[in-house]
Amino acid sequence: MSSAIAGAAADGSVAVGGRKAPADKYDERRRALGDSALRTLGELGYARASLREIANNSEFSHGVVHYYFEDKHDLIVYCVREYKSVCVRRYDGVIADSTTPEELVGGFADKLIETLRDEAAMHRLWYDVRTQSMFDDRLRAVAVEIDGWLEEMVGRVVGRYAELAGTVPALPASVLYGIVDGLFQQALLGVTQGREGVLEELHALVHALLPTMVTPA
């Protein structure tokens, strides 16, 4: 019986207290498997990454996936949501610590090209999942959810920038996100193609564009 999954789902919400709960180890393993899967998924993409390949690149065998996850869809949703939930918090420090508009732009642009350089595989996986969500109903919900997170993130950055500049954003967050996301995606495509200077261009572009996203002071 698949008591492990059902049981853990029940236990997990109860959040047992005193001793080293078994749910801890379960969640830990689940996270480890998710991390490992994330690497393979980022390398091969949603369609090409089979459960066997994912398991091969981990310390487990291929059958274990169904012990910790309901099915492939469940695993992928878990992985992407896990990654993206920390991803959207990347600029919180910059937002909190910046005291001038220029400082915020610099910090934002720096971290943007940093993640573009270091985590390109994760980003292309996200775009893969979001695109697949247009064909697969089961991915729709999580894609919409994460897209909402990202929109809020961009909204926070531009909102804080406007605040520091003593003004307000010139466009709704959804539009700002669409613009930033489009440019980021183009940069990601450029990175994947091995084009030179992509990171520097995006860095400069952010500096040039952010001031135009708020109403003149």
What single-letter DSSP state applies at residue 51? H
Q: Helix (H, G, I), strand (E, B), or coil: what is residue 169?
A: strand
Helix axes 72-87, 120-132, angle to 10 degrees: 130
80 and 129 Cβ atoms separated by less than 8 Å: yes
- Toward DNA, which CB reaches closer, 62 or 111? 62
Q: Is 89 in the site for a copy of itself (CB under 8 A)?
A: no
x-or-dash string of contact with a copy of itself, 127-146, rule CB under 8 A? xx-xxxxxxx---x--xx--
Is 182 exposed, middle or buried (CB count within 10 Å of its CB: 0-12, 13-18, 19+)? exposed
Q: Is 76 in the site for a copy of itself (CB under 8 A)?
A: no
Which stretch, 24-32, 80-88, 159-167, 170-178, contacts a copy of itself (CB under 8 A)? Answer: 170-178
Q: Is 211 in the site for a copy of itself (CB under 8 A)?
A: no
- Toward a copy of itself, which CB reaches closer, 85 or 174? 174
41 and 54 Cβ atoms separated by less than 8 Å: yes
Ramachandran sector of residue 166 (left: φ over 0; alpha: ψ -120 to 50; beta: rest): left
Q: How far is the CB of 188 from DNA (least distance, A)?
A: 24
Q: Which residues bind a copy of itself (CB under 8 A)?
A: 43-48, 124, 127-128, 130-136, 140, 143-144, 147, 174-175, 177-183, 185-186, 188-189, 192-193, 205, 212
